Amino acid sequence: MVGTPVLFVAIPLLAAFLIPLLGMIWKELVRIVPGLVLMYLMVLSINLLNHVLVSGPIVEVIAGWAPPFGINLVFSAFSGFLVTLMIFLGLVVWLYSYRFKRNVGFEPAKKYFLLLMMLITGAVGIVLTGDIFNMFVFIEITGISGYGLTAFYTGRDSAEASFKYLMLGSIASTLLLLAIMILYSQLGTLNMAEIASKIHTVNPTYKVISLILFISALGIEAEIFPLNGWAPDAYAEAPGPVGAAFAGIVVKASVYAIIRYIFTIFDISGAYSFLIIIGMMTLIIAETAAIRQDKLKRMLAYSSIGQMGLVLVAFGFGTEEGVFAALFLMLNHAIIKSLLFLSGSYLVYNSKDKKIVEVNGMHKFLPITSFLFALGAFAIVGLPPFAGFWSKLSVLTAAADSHMLFVLALVLIVSVIELVYYLRVVNRIYFFKKGENVDPKKPTFNALLAMIVLGALILVIGFYPDVITGVIHKASADLMDKTKYINDVLSIKQ
């Protein structure tokens, strides 16, 4: 045993609670500790992932109760891949925000890192857990820290955004709880594997209602249209790195949850086409809304929503190819959208309204940031030879192989729209005259480093996608193999 999945939940949670205490010893520790923790987890997750890819999933039982009675954590290729991705993004976000907004003072910084650690804990927990109620708990942890981070600036707008998030979040909790109750009342168990193995016995009506409630609840977190009203506000009002964390971590975790329910737990085949329908709706509405935005982060937020719609569509094909495409897309989206959020927040750092027009002519003052933003923009719209192309290609291939030509065409049309608004911004950065009262801020060294790491990844994956596709192939195979999951979990005897 190289390590245990419990650490992924335990360590960041512990770190989150220790941060205020450590802050009393030495203020810098507040900033340093999360980094150390995340680095350790990064090493751990890569080790575990390597192990898992070779010798099958690790199922960890908590408190000595074997499944289906106790809570278990499953570190399989699929969940391991997502966990690694989240930890990596967490690390990048930490690196970026290490000296972000030095002027905010110690207290807010303390809260920020605390909430960030909790956010990561929650998200990782969602992915790792094998128990639906436990997942609910983790979703709540994620949500609460998310509300806090949204309101970080304690302004009027951020408070409003946070309130919207909170309100929809609580609806989500209610619905989720309701869904869990229905399922529990029918089967008497909360363990995913157990439910999955017994789901065919459930009355179809209950099954469907419970699934609908699950999707609705998780859809709120996963930004599915029309449940995603909170998202644009939250992204726009939260600090830039938090936007990256939302796009890269929280949403991924929620999508994971939906996918887990549809692919593993339930056996309703109609759910796949439903995924495609809502995914397409999300994609189209978000992208068309994005083109008319005048604030940079809001635009990125809509774009992020749209991408998640595309991920759901890709999952909705229900084929292994589709899953592969979706996972690849999630990876690329996490990297690229984070890069866009991180560099974008420096482009509009000192402006009050964060308007798109305020990025005019920024390349002269922030050459590297501008370049990275442009790189990200080119990559996210799927231009070769950047990372986004390969995932888009695999999505389209999957669509064609599933004979969904209509979906294929729509995705491509929407891509054109996406192209337009990204290019508009890039053109502004490079070819417009700088506005009078915009005061560019040079990024700090570690922020730059964080962005360059992401940019380099985009290029590496773009030129040589094989570095990562092997893992994704295994992860998608892992997700598709439902019986193996059930067997792996239920065969554990403590």
Of the listed pieces 16-24, 181-189, 244-252, 394-402, which binds another protein according to CB under 8 A? 394-402
In the range 268-307, which residues lie near another protein by CB under 8 A?
Answer: 268, 270-271, 273-274, 277, 285, 288-289, 291-293
Least distance in angstroms from the C-beta of 357 to another protein: 12
Letters for 150-179 (x = contact with another protein by CB under 8 A, - = none) are: ----------x--xx--xx--x---x----
Least distance in angstroms from the C-beta of 104 to another protein: 26
Q: In the complex with another protein, which residue's Cβ is closer, 19 or 215?
A: 215
Of the listed pieces 8-16, 39-47, 94-102, 458-466, which binds another protein according to CB under 8 A? 458-466
Query: What's the CA dihedral at 215, 484, 47, 112 to 10 degrees?
Result: 10
- 181 forms part of the interface with another protein (CB under 8 A): no
Least distance in angstroms from the C-beta of 229 to another protein: 3
In the range 423-452, which residues lie near another protein by CB under 8 A?
Answer: 423-424, 427, 430-432
Candidates 18, 39, 137, 408; binder of another protein (CB under 8 A) is 408
Letters for 18-47 (x = contact with another protein by CB under 8 A, - = none) are: ------------------------------
Count of residues in contact with another protein, rule CB under 8 A = 68
Letters for 54-83 (x = contact with another protein by CB under 8 A, - = none) are: ------------------------------
Q: In the complex with another protein, which residue's Cβ is closer, 88 or 165?
A: 165
- 390 forms part of the interface with another protein (CB under 8 A): yes
- Assess contact for 195 and 132: CB atoms under 8 A: yes
Q: In the complex with another protein, which residue's Cβ is closer, 74 or 166?
A: 166
- 339 forms part of the interface with another protein (CB under 8 A): no
Candidates 70, 108, 384, 435; binder of another protein (CB under 8 A) is 384
Reduced 3-state DSSP string for the chain: CCCCCHHHHHHHHHHHHHHHHHHHHCHHHHHHHHHHHHHHHHHHHHHHHHHHHHHCCEEEECCCCCCCCCCEEEECHHHHHHHHHHHHHHHHHHHHHCCCCHHHCHHHHHHHHHHHHHHHHHHHHHHHECEHHHHHHHHHHHHHHHHHHHHHHCCHHHHHHHHHHHHHHHHHHHHHHHHHHHHHHHHCCCEHHHHHHHHHHCCHHHHHHHHHHHHHHHHHHCCCCCCCCHHHHHHHHCCHHHHHHHHHHHHHHHHHHHHHHHHHHCCCCHHHHHHHHHHHHHHHHHHHHHHCCCEHHHHHHHHHHHHHHHHHHHHHCCCHHHHHHHHHHHHHHHHHHHHHHHHHHHHCCCCCCCEHHHHCCHHHCCHHHHHHHHHHHHHHCCCCCCHHHHHHHHHHHHHHHCCCHHHHHHHHHHHHHHHHHHHHHHHHHHHCCCCCCCCCCCCCHHHHHHHHHHHHHHHHHHHCCHHHHHHHHHHHHHHHCHHHHHHHHHCCCC
Q: In the complex with another protein, which residue's Cβ is closer, 232 or 248?
A: 232
Least distance in angstroms from the C-beta of 396 to another protein: 4
- Assess contact for 255 and 311: CB atoms under 8 A: yes
Candidates 303, 360, 415, 476; binder of another protein (CB under 8 A) is 415
Candidates 416, 442, 483, 494; binder of another protein (CB under 8 A) is 416
Least distance in angstroms from the C-beta of 311 to another protein: 18
Residues of this chain that bind another protein (CB under 8 A): 160, 163-164, 167-168, 171, 175, 208-209, 211-213, 215-216, 219-220, 226-227, 229-230, 232-233, 268, 270-271, 273-274, 277, 285, 288-289, 291-293, 378, 383-385, 389-390, 393, 396-397, 399-401, 403, 405, 408-409, 412-413, 415-417, 419-420, 423-424, 427, 430-432, 464-466, 469, 473
